[in-house]
Amino acid sequence: MKLSTIIAGKGDFVATVTPDATVSDLLAMLAEHRVGALVVSADGRTITGIVSERDVVRALTEGAGVLTRSVASIMTTHVFAAPPEADVDELMHVMTEKRIRHIPVTDPDGVLLGIVSIGDVVKTRLSELEGERQALMEYITQG
């Protein structure tokens, strides 16, 4: 299955935050959108970075003052993005190997088209396995 299929099913909305927003603003947006990460983007189309709950927790080891710092100061700048035609199985391996939970989906020009989480990938894979199981059961029982 391709990423474009996941995006078509879940929608192309991507919650973004600007690099100059505060970490406190970021936390409010994570809660509002009920997500674990936001794409950092000044215009909502180009990717400057990505920031997750994990980034916030790591930064908080420096103290509560981090809440007034900018998102740019804690974001991950090396973002792994994938094209819509990328295969979900390949993506699952990349996410496991690189220990990342969110991958933005971009067009060839780097324009943000959507985002896929590890939860989306697992849900898709489970759905595929259930379809295969049902097909095998029909084959066994109906010949």
pLDDT given at position 143:
66
Q: How confident is the model at residue 140 (pLDDT cuts 50, 70, 90)?
A: confident
pLDDT given at position 135:
85
pTM: 0.85
Q: How confident is the model at residue 52 (pLDDT cuts 50, 70, 90)?
A: very high
Calpha distance 75→47 (Å, rounded): 11
DSSP 73-117: GTSB-S---B-TT-BHHHHHHHHHHHT-SEEEEE-TT-BEEEEEE
CATH number at residue 72: 3.10.580.10
pLDDT given at position 111:
95
Residue pair 54/76 in contact (Cβ under 8 Å)? The answer is no
The total of structural domains in the chain comes to: 1
Q: What residues make up the domain containing 49?
A: 3-142
